Amino acid sequence: MFRPLDLMEKNKVNDLSLTFRRLLVHCWKTINIEREYGTTRLYLLAIILFVLVFCFSYIAFSFNYTGRHIDRYLWLLFLVLPLIYPVHKFLHYIALFQYKKSLVFRFKIQYHFVPIIRMRLQSGIPKWSYVFALVTPFLVLNTVFIFGGFLVPGYAHYFSALLAYHCSICLMDFLYVKNLKSAPNNAIIEETPRGYEILVPLDF
């Protein structure tokens, strides 16, 4: 008569399954953006990206606008800004919804006041599924901000600030996509304590 597996037995089965899968693939590359660039350099790049995006988008939104820019709803800007990061993460989650059973969320505070939300996949997923999940927030939110900036140029400075802030949040996603684009199309992306491993099936 069969009995349900307890937690320890389930962990052993999962470990054996992981070991068996690793016998069929080899690690093509390991990516750890924070270790490669360093936290200080990443923050500096994010600030530079923010300034560049704000300047260019503000010029683009205001190019054919001859009226005055309005500051009537400044409180709304400060209300929306803190919501961009959790919405960004939520869009990552939506893009990975079919893998929700292997997703684990972790929250931490960095530098005593910066909240960080981390999502970790406990199983590997195809390269292009992972790339799609990385670019989804960029495509969705930035489309909204760009559309708003051109539609309501009187608030171009608001939409430029939102767009620039979100692009700085997307910096890590850009860097991961940059590393992933040269990986083989049949690669599997798996998260480990060392970073993201790009696994490629062995040819027999």
What amino acid occupies position 176? Y
Other beta carbons within 10 angstroms of residue 11's beta carbon come to 11
The tens digit of pLDDT for each residue in 144-200 reads: 999 999 999 999 999 999 999 999 999 999 999 998 988 888 888 888 777 788 888
Q: Are 197 and 125 in contact (CB under 8 A)?
A: no
Q: pLDDT > 90: what percent of the chain?
A: 45
**Bridge partner list, 190:** 197
Is the model's pLDDT at 4 over the cut of 80? no
Domain spans in the chain, listed from the N-terminal domain onward:
27-201
Q: Is the pTM of this model over 0.95?
A: no
Closest listed residue to residue 116, CA positions, set 142, 147, 89: 89
Quick count: other Cβ atoms within 10 Å of Cβ 107? Answer: 8
Average pLDDT over residues 6-13: 47
Distances (CA, A) of 3 to 13, 142, 171: 15, 51, 49
Q: What is the pLDDT of residues 117-155, one digit of tens each?
A: 778 887 888 999 999 999 999 999 999 999 999 999 999
Q: Could you report the per-residue pLDDT of 34-93, keeping only the tens digit for each?
A: 888 888 999 999 999 999 999 999 999 999 888 888 888 888 899 999 999 999 999 999
CA–CA dist 67, 85 (Å, integer):
32
